[in-house]
Structure 1
Amino acid sequence: MSLMDESATALSRLIASRQVSPSEVMAAYLRRLPVLNDEINAIVSPRDPDELMAEARALDDQPPMGWLHGLPLAVKDLVAVRGLRTTYGSPLYRDHVPDTDDLVAARLRVAGAIFTGKTNTPEWGHGSHSFNPVFGVTRNPYDLARTAGGSSGGAAAALAARLVPVADGSDMMGSLRNPAAFCNVYGFRPSWGLVPADAEGDTFMATLATDGPMGRSVEDVARLLETLAGENPAVPFGQPRATYADRLDINLRGLKVGWLADWGGAYPCKPGILDQCALGLKVLEELGAHVEPLAPPFPAEELWQAWIHLRGFLNAGSKGALWADAEKRALLKPETVWEIEFGRTVSAAQVYAASVTRSRWYAKAAELFARYDLLAMPSAQVWPFPAEWRWPQVINGRAMDTYHRWMEIVVPVSLIGLPSLAVPCGFGAAGLPTGMQLIGTFGSDAKVLTIGEQYHRATRWPERRPPAIESREAEHLPA
């Protein structure tokens, strides 16, 4: 077994106790990268191997800077990293090398991580399929003919392939949750504001997206959340840093879970997905929880209209200057052009109406959480689909009217900033993974992670390694 099979927490402890050195871990990473990444394409803009080994050796005899001391991490390509090519998946930034770190990269660096490259993402993070004209498509380690999801698809695929021990991601419309389901790992969207944004552009109205952690264990997710969280004085609505990883024990007896399923059919799911989620719910019941099916608590179409108006409005604002330049517009992906052009049609009255819908849904969700400790839904409506598709256009005979309607099931969480842990639910008949969301009330991040940890101990789905990866390892890597 490679050192890269270990969890980030285990590697951190091995390095801290000097049973393993950072250079040994880096050597294990560098052995795997060319063997596995060429087909998966999860890690892009890889750094020079000699530079990485030199950086790791320099840490061998140093006391740990933080819990990530000496661990090889690749940062999502939507995050600027000082001195490392950061493209945002766009040909407009094909050769862009930032002079400074974004906040996520800065916090990972302070915790001791060694940056090995970036993880692939769709252009501008638009869409839950990680392909772009700069680097191409990221493939699913469980089936190389299929997508790894997105926009944190590179991160999820790298985790599943044991190319990183833990990973950062971001989530506006399921970008931490959908790829986690597709790649049999954990993705956690924290309560909005817990992981602060950078002080760029609008930081008052843009409250739909957040950065967050991904991992092969809930403990790793909790530890990385501790690293990423904490106030940024330069942006509003901050929340204080807290601890999560050292308080993961709980008895689930008596826990009340509300199962929202496919929202009364409003969110069509491919055959087998609800069945796999039912198996996940059964695990919670065996741990002592009571699961109760719920009727749709709010009109799904109202949530969708609020969502697309707010999302379009924000994208038109943040990307409008690119669209206004005809030469740059020609290099934008069609989905990004759609977002901007739709957003330019949104009126002030529509923005206000969307905010009212959002407020009403938050109040209704509060009523649910007065009765239930947790809500649950699928993390994805479809199985990992063919890598050559742009996006699924039909689900169960229902046509998808936008490029992102097929992942609408994540909207109820994103619209009101709730914490949501995407947990694996095993594999369907075709051997493909899926998962479900464990959703808590705002600010209940610690509770959601603690429940997720009990689920992980009972299932340990991410320990089921991708067969294609095992085959490549056996053929090309020493035992």
Structure 2
Amino acid sequence: MPTSSLTELSAVALRRLIGRKEISPVALLDDAIARIEALNPAVNAIAAKGYDRARAEARMAEAAVLRGDPLGPLHGLPVGIKDLEETAGLLTTHGSPLYRDHVLETDDASVANVRAAGAIVVAKTNVPEFGAGANTRNAVFGATGNPFDPRLNAGGSSGGSAVALATEMLPLCSGSDMGGSLRIPAALCGVVGFRPSPGLVPMETRQLGWSPLSVVGPMARTVEDARLLLAAQIGFDPREPLAFPLDADAARQARPVDLARLRVAWTTDFGGAPMSAEIAETLRARMARLAPLFAACDEIALDFSGADEIFDVMRALSFVARHEDAYRADPDSLGPNVRANYEMGARLGLADAARAHAAQTALFRRFQALYRDYDLVIGPVTPVSPFPWTQLYLEELAGERLRNYYHWLAPTYYVTLVTNPAIAIPCGLDPRGMPFGLQVVGRFRADLALLDAAQALEEALSTMEGMGRPRPDPARLAAPRPELTAIVTAPPPA
């Protein structure tokens, strides 16, 4: 592992140094590329690489600095873009052999916003096929290993982004989230993943534009860095049906929060999500240490009854909308996770969809009532410590067989259904020595208030022994792991 690199610095610090002419965008990009080439063979986080264009853009960024031109908020910063987001001139595979040669001339809206802010897109980051599942592995680029132990799962579907950040290859990466795809890999890799309110970051390629399930958002090593990227990603776009305005300057600038004035509710399972005793006890111990920070810190019982059935239907509908043509042409062209969701959706009728929408509305209203008494809800992100990446998904937990390949994601997809903004922030290590994350859920559309509170909480955690952001052991990243880049396949789900 390289002993030193500019990419170890925070994105906020790097941008400040570029603006002061103390570091060069060219030198920063060179460091990022060197670190990718040195470390990626051990974890396989990076998919397609765009070094030639990035180097040309870095030279232009440097010239702009030297001329004294106005600089964007991300000027000269190297970033990674999740391989589900279309990126002009750079291969975007969606983790599927169907898109092995897919290169477009246009960016998705959020990518265009990030470029307009001055960022330099260095590479795409690895994903599961079409983002289906929380294990980042596909038949195009292979599997992504956890930076704390590359034999284990890095989470997903933004697993490549989380690993690129944790290993300090890149200072900022994008992600997206339907059932937890920003929050899960962030928690399993010891970084920050923020799921914004639906519509805040434009996602104009979503087939079901009125569905609030899927969002694009930022990933970073700190909340402050995540805010910097979020401020660039947001933008009121007329192609986004759920769009609502938010001032980018307000997104970047934290407002002071006195944690001692906040009332916090917490839960080990969100009222029914599968959960290992180990993770439940870890959360309980963490909350006991955090309780003195807050005005109130109460364990509460939540009512998420029906959430699994709601998510089944809502998720399946989106897969039918996205994959019907490919399935009809050749079902075997899709992997087992995608096929399972499509086939579930194809069996549903209008009455199923109506019941799910009505039940989601009732669930939303029950959850919002909590915020009459509390400012934040805190819970776990995942129910288990990372398992081997060779295991496609978790099939059983605590002696109970799980419902399907994504049931183990219930702690995050329950929160998806109520649409509140949510963030995963690192909180030390679990009993197995792997990263542990807190899922912090804010009020409806109160994205900035949640980020303010999360930044204050992150600062407090950094002062508490064993509660701050962990960093990977360089010894585990010393040797390439060719098994990660082998073409991987999986048996059909049971």
Which category of TM-score, normalised to the shorter sequence, fits these structures? over 0.9
Q: 5 Å matches for 1:165-244?
A: 165-198=171-204, 201-204=207-210, 206-242=211-247, 243-244=250-251
Closer/same/farther in 2, CA of residues 471 and 273 from structure 1, 3 Å limit: same
Identity %: 36
Closer/same/farther in 2, CA of residues 280 and 465 from structure 1, 3 Å limit: same
Give the 3-state SS of the residue equivalent to 1:253 in structure 2: helix
Aligned to 2:43: 40
Closer/same/farther in 2, CA of residues 200 and 434 from structure 1, 3 Å limit: closer
Closer/same/farther in 2, CA of residues 68 and 370 from structure 1, 3 Å limit: same
Alignment of 1:82 with 2:85, yes or no, is: no
Give the 3-state SS of the residue equivalent to 2:251 in structure 1: coil
Aligned to 1:321: 325
How far did 1:199 drift? 5.1
- Asked whether the 8 Å contact 2:149–2:476 carries over to 1, the reply is no
Decide which of 91, 106, 110 is 2:112's aligned counterpart. Answer: 106
Cα distance in 2 for residues equivalent to 1:96 and 1:65: 32
Alignment of 1:273 with 2:275, yes or no, is: no
Cα distance in 2 for residues equivalent to 1:169 and 1:366: 26
Aligned to 2:485: none
How far did 1:470 drift? 7.7
- Asked whether the 8 Å contact 1:283–1:458 carries over to 2, the reply is no
Cα distance in 2 for residues equivalent to 1:401 and 1:470: 34
How far did 1:131 drift? 0.3
Cα distance in 2 for residues equivalent to 1:106 and 1:283: 42
Greater displacement, 407-416 / 375-384: 407-416
Deviations 1:352-399 (A, max 9, x none): 110111111111112111111111110111111101110111111111
Aligned to 1:24: 27
Greater displacement, 152-161 / 51-60: 51-60
What is the Cα-based RMSD across aligned positions, in Å? 1.7
Deviations 1:233-268 (A, max 9, x none): 12323110222231331101131111121135x223
Closer/same/farther in 2, CA of residues 399 and 331 from structure 1, 3 Å limit: same
Cα distance in 2 for residues equivalent to 1:160 and 1:277: 22
Alignment of 1:413 with 2:419, yes or no, is: no
- The one-letter code of the counterpart of 1:6 is L
Cα distance in 2 for residues equivalent to 1:469 and 1:197: 39
Give the 3-state SS of the residue equivalent to 1:95 in structure 2: coil
Aligned to 2:484: none
Deviations 1:148-204 (A, max 9, x none): 100000000000000110111000000001101100111111111111221563312
Alignment of 1:247 with 2:272, yes or no, is: no
How far did 1:310 drift? 1.3
Give the 3-state SS of the residue equivalent to 1:192 in structure 2: coil
- Asked whether the 8 Å contact 1:141–1:468 carries over to 2, the reply is no
- Asked whether the 8 Å contact 1:141–1:160 carries over to 2, the reply is yes
Cα distance in 1 for residues equivalent to 2:263 and 2:340: 41
Cα distance in 1 for residues equivalent to 2:476 and 2:199: 39
- The one-letter code of the counterpart of 2:281 is D
Give the 3-state SS of the residue equivalent to 1:232 in structure 2: coil
Alignment of 1:142 with 2:148, yes or no, is: yes
Give the 3-state SS of the residue equivalent to 1:344 in structure 2: helix
Alignment of 1:346 with 2:348, yes or no, is: yes
How far did 1:2 drift? 1.6
- The one-letter code of the counterpart of 2:173 is A
Q: 5 Å matches for 1:112-151?
A: 112-151=118-157
Aligned to 1:477: none
- Asked whether the 8 Å contact 2:254–2:451 carries over to 1, the reply is no
Count of residues in correspondence between the two structures: 466
Closer/same/farther in 2, CA of residues 456 and 469 from structure 1, 3 Å limit: farther
Cα distance in 2 for residues equivalent to 1:340 and 1:257: 39
Q: 5 Å matches for 1:296-307?
A: 296-299=302-305, 302-307=306-311
Cα distance in 1 for residues equivalent to 2:448 and 2:391: 37
Cα distance in 2 for residues equivalent to 1:306 and 1:333: 23
Cα distance in 1 for residues equivalent to 2:234 and 2:189: 25
Aligned to 1:452: 454
Give the 3-state SS of the residue equivalent to 1:385 in structure 2: coil
Decide which of 440, 443, 451 is 2:442's aligned counterpart. Answer: 440
Greater displacement, 65-74 / 464-473: 464-473
- The one-letter code of the counterpart of 1:294 is I
Cα distance in 1 for residues equivalent to 2:115 and 2:322: 27
Closer/same/farther in 2, CA of residues 282 and 228 from structure 1, 3 Å limit: farther
How far did 1:72 drift? 1.2
Closer/same/farther in 2, CA of residues 381 and 77 from structure 1, 3 Å limit: same
How far did 1:283 drift? 5.1
- The one-letter code of the counterpart of 2:6 is L
- Asked whether the 8 Å contact 1:217–1:462 carries over to 2, the reply is no
How far did 1:462 drift? 6.4
- The one-letter code of the counterpart of 1:76 is K
- Asked whether the 8 Å contact 1:65–1:110 carries over to 2, the reply is no
Closer/same/farther in 2, CA of residues 51 and 238 from structure 1, 3 Å limit: closer
Cα distance in 2 for residues equivalent to 1:241 and 1:164: 26
Cα distance in 2 for residues equivalent to 1:280 and 1:64: 45
How far did 1:64 drift? 5.2
Give the 3-state SS of the residue equivalent to 1:174 in structure 2: coil
Cα distance in 1 for residues equivalent to 2:209 and 2:269: 33
Closer/same/farther in 2, CA of residues 163 and 448 from structure 1, 3 Å limit: same
Decide which of 348, 361, 364 is 2:363's aligned counterpart. Answer: 361
Cα distance in 1 for residues equivalent to 2:36 and 2:468: 20
Give the 3-state SS of the residue equivalent to 1:180 in structure 2: helix
Decide which of 37, 51, 54 is 1:52's aligned counterpart. Answer: 54
Cα distance in 2 for residues equivalent to 1:313 and 1:359: 17
- The one-letter code of the counterpart of 1:258 is A
- Asked whether the 8 Å contact 1:277–1:435 carries over to 2, the reply is no
